[in-house]
Amino acid sequence: MHRSNFKGLAALCLVGVLAGASQSTPAGTNSADAIVVQLLTEQLADIAGKELEVITVEYPPGGGSLPHRHDAYVIVYVLEGSVQMRIRGRELVTLHAGQTFLERPEDVHEVSRNASATAPAKFLVVALKASDKPLSRPVPAAAE
């Protein structure tokens, strides 16, 4: 995404926060660990059956999510701290504030966790998904 487009999206997200964002915990998230804030859900007029969903996720020190998938295109943008992410079949990556991560509809998100045991981490999630599907759903951990 071009930097100027991202700034516009960030401003749109801020409007969602100021308009009264709701807090929830989607499937695939440890409810004791993650703080999820719904910022925006927008039906796309030019793509039938698709919507844009924007949330923030905050992990406390050592917190994270259970394995899950989104069945959507998902862009993660780290706002604060550091997070570790791994898609099934790929290497674990550590992302810091200002870095991005992409998930595709077929990906299984095996690892999503705070990289720090002492500081919180927060990231923005922008998802293009089917209107009738949840943002996230749990999946079994891979057999070792």
What is the tens place of the pLDDT at every residue in 98-134? 999 999 999 999 999 999 999 999 999 999 999 999 9
Model confidence pTM above 0.75: yes
Render 43-103 in DSSP notation, one character per residue.
Answer: E-TTSTTEEEEEEEEEE-TT-EE-SEE-SSEEEEEEEESEEEEEETTS--EEEETT-EEEE
Total structural domains in the chain?
A: 1
Nearest CA among 49, 28, 27, 25 for reference residue 38 = 25
Give the CATH number for residue 53.
2.60.120.10
Residue 75: which domain range? Answer: 3-132
In a domain, 139, yes or no: no
Q: Per DSSP, what are the bridge partners of residue 25?
A: none
